[in-house]
């Protein structure tokens, strides 16, 4: 019997960055058994599902986003038997499991790419990728002027003089999706994991895959590579990509018809406008796509209102629901991004991050929480150069876009590193060093302190489950003074956020149901604070 409840439409999914979640083997690197051990914690928090970062066999040049085998588990993280145990345990806890799939590129150690390097120009093996002759009299110049997202040219030269395309790093060659072998191979990969019981996939670089068939020069190659989320229109958002998502959606529907369980496709879609974003979540394509505009919006009431309004108009208008995010493994931690450059949890950035969390959880649609956000972790900004592992740093020499600071392993307990993250032998340390101040953010302390970030998230998630006004649906804006944002959900649930630092009159009277900070008096909303009320409007 087919389920009538579309669980994904208002789900809250927790992103598990596996290597930084919990280490069960004592080698300083998180693993699948650690995720399984953490399920009671996640169940207590109240999330509906987890998204696992890549754990496939990989040389780890980009921490698993360089996949050498799409149907296995890297020994760093366990094996297929451990994966099966994780899926079974998650099902017992009522927690969905989403895998991160990487269809735009693979590892340079993938057997097909190694075969391509050994093959002749023009061979079927090379046709699975983008190989091309170079320019200039001796072919010593790249085939076009494209830049890689992680710095440098988007082309590297093979031993026989041809060049191959990689939109990220040379260790991540791009697949040629115009070759029918590639979609057929990914059909096999999807079915392999669906047959093992997963509930869906987070799709890396979902606006990528297809490149302009003629591989022409870009009009502004520097702009194409200026930021992590910039878009080269010749290599991104090509119209053929929508046929792939229609086909993948049909595979998910096939499995749903077998057993009534809906499988989810959520895409990492980096496109310039909400209207283009909406094209990816039409009824026969992806179920969801991350809406990054909320994450990138400045802390400003007008900016947030514009972002939310556009999303509700263009994305929810397709029949899908908006998928809200405030952070992920590629972004500066929310506490730091909102104005707190030092690790003091009572500062302005922390107050704003708490308010943003309540705002996000009150919005219609789904929400994704990056691990550690529920602890209020700040960005680790003082990692020394010699421990940085991000390929962006290796390729550019710049720390400006380095992502290691948001990937430092979680603190679980205790007063000193490794804070319960690993129980390894003396001298085994977490793969990235944890600062001393992480003791203030450890989960045992957070659970014991009812004023912590963790309790705010837990209470918000619990009310989101209990209150019919929250989750899927619509919103109505209320008139507010400058610097304040307020909207109504359903039958009288009001969410208001004071973006300023001075107190302001609350939009409704009475004691808040939940507030991101202390509300000292009825009818007052302190600065940098969000609150929920049930009101008779």
Cβ–Cβ under 8 Å, residues 531 and 358: yes
Residue in 254, 284, 300, 302 annotated catalytic: 254
d(CA 233, CA 211): 9
Q: What is the largest CA-CA distance in the chain?
A: 77
**171 CB-contact burial (10 Å; exposed 0-12 / middle 13-18 / buried 19+):** buried
How far is residue 13 CA from its own chain's centroid? 10
pLDDT in tens, 273-293: 889 999 999 999 999 999 999
**342 CB-contact burial (10 Å; exposed 0-12 / middle 13-18 / buried 19+):** exposed
CA atoms lying within 13 Å on the CB side of residue 305: 19
Q: Going from the first residue of the chain to its last (537 residues), give the mean pLDDT of each consecutive group of 10, the final group possibly shorter.
A: 70 98 96 98 98 98 96 98 98 98 98 98 98 95 94 94 97 98 98 98 97 92 52 91 98 97 96 92 96 95 97 90 96 89 66 97 97 97 89 79 92 95 84 96 97 98 95 93 96 95 91 89 90 89
pLDDT the model gives residue 221? 66
Cβ–Cβ under 8 Å, residues 49 and 43: no
pLDDT the model gives residue 21? 98
pLDDT the model gives residue 284? 96
**Measuring CA to CA, which residue among 196, 310, 213, 320 is closest to residue 267?**
320
Query: How far is residue 52 from each of residues 55, 76, 374, measured CA to CA in Å?
Result: 8, 14, 17
d(CA 305, CA 485): 7
For the sheet containing 163-165, what is the strand order? 131-132, 163-165, 155-157
Residue in 23, 204, 293, 404 annotated catalytic: 204
Q: How many CB atoms lie within 10 A of CB 521?
A: 10
For 418-454, letters b (16+ CB in 10 Å) and e give: bbbbbebeeeeebbbbbbeebbbbbbebbbeeeebbb
d(CA 144, CA 142): 5
pLDDT the model gives residue 3? 43
d(CA 208, CA 363): 28
Q: How many CB atoms lie within 10 A of CB 5?
A: 7
pLDDT the model gives residue 173? 98
pLDDT the model gives residue 366? 97
User: Mapping DSSP to helix (H, G, I), strand (E, B) and coil, where does residue 19 land?
Assistant: helix
pLDDT the model gives residue 519? 79
pLDDT the model gives residue 222? 62
**Measuring CA to CA, which residue among 152, 140, 154 is closest to residue 217?**
154
Q: pTM of this prediction?
A: 0.95
Length of the chain (residues): 537
Where are the strands (E) in 360-466, listed by range?
366-370
pLDDT the model gives residue 151? 87
How far from each other are the two terminal CA atoms of the chain, in whole angstroms? 40
204 classed as catalytic: yes
pLDDT the model gives residue 135? 96
d(CA 89, CA 41): 13
254 classed as catalytic: yes
pLDDT the model gives residue 219? 86
pLDDT the model gives residue 449? 96
User: Mapping DSSP to helix (H, G, I), strand (E, B) and coil, where does residue 29 land?
Assistant: coil
């Amino acid at each position: 019997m087919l389920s009538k409840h579309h669980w994904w439409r208002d789900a809250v999914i927790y992103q598990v960055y596996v290597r930084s979640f919990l280490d069960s083997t004592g080698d300083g690197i998180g693993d699948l058994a650690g995720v399984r051990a953490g399920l009671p914690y996640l169940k207590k928090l109240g999330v509906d599902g987890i998204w696992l970062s890549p754990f496939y066999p990989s040389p780890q040049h980009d921490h698993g986003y360089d996949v050498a085998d799409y149907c296995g588990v890297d020994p760093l993280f366990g094996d297929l038997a451990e994966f099966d145990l994780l899926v079974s345990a998650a099902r017992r806890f009522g927690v969905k499991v989403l895998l991160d799939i990487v269809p735009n590129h693979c590892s340079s150690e993938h057997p097909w790419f190694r075969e391509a390097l050994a093959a002749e120009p023009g061979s079927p093996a090379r046709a699975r990728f983008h190989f091309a002759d170079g320019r200039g009299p001796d072919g010593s110049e790249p085939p076009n002027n494209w830049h890689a997202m992680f710095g440098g040219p988007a082309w590297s030269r093979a031993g026989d003089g041809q060049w191959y395309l990689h939109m990220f790093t040379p260790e991540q060659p791009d697949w040629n999706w115009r070759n029918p072998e590639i979609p057929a191979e990914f059909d096999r990969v999807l079915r392999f994991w669906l047959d093992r019981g997963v509930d869906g996939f987070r799709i890396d670089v979902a606006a990528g895959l297809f490149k302009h068939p003629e591989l022409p020069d870009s009009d502004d190659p520097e702009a194409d590579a200026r930021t992590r989320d910039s878009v080269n229109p010749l290599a991104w958002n090509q119209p053929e990509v929508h046929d792939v998502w229609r086909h993948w959606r049909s595979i998910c529907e096939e499995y749903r018809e077998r057993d009534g369980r809906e499988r989810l496709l959520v895409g990492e879609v980096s496109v310039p406008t909400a209207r283009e974003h909406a094209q990816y979540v039409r009824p026969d394509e992806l179920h969801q796509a991350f809406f990054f505009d909320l994450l990138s919006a400045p802390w400003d009431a007008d900016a947030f209102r514009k972002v939310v309004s556009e999303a509700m108009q263009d994305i929810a208008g397709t029949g899908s629901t908006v998928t809200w995010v405030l952070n992920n493994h590629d972004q500066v931690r929310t506490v730091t991004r909102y104005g707190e450059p030092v690790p003091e949890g009572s500062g302005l950035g922390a107050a704003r991050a708490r308010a943003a969390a309540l705002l996000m959880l009150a919005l219609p649609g789904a929400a994704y929480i990056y691990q550690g956000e529920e602890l209020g972790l700040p960005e680790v900004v003082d990692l020394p150069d010699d421990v940085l592992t991000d390929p962006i740093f290796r390729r550019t020499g710049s720390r400006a876009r380095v992502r290691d600071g948001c990937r430092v392993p979680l603190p679980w307990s205790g007063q000193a590193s490794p804070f319960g993250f690993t129980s390894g032998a003396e001298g085994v340390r977490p793969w990235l060093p944890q600062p001393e101040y992480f003791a203030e953010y450890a989960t045992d302390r957070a659970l014991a302190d009812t004023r912590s970030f963790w309790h705010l998230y837990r209470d918000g998630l619990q009310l989101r489950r209990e209150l019919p006004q929250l989750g899927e649906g619509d919103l109505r804006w209320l008139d507010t003074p400058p610097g304040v944002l307020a909207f109504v959900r359903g039958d009288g649930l009001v969410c208001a956020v004071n973006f300023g630092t001075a107190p302001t009159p609350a939009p409704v009277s009475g004691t808040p149901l939940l507030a991101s900070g202390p509300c000292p008096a009825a009818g007052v909303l302190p600065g940098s604070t969000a609150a929920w009320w049930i009101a008779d409007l």
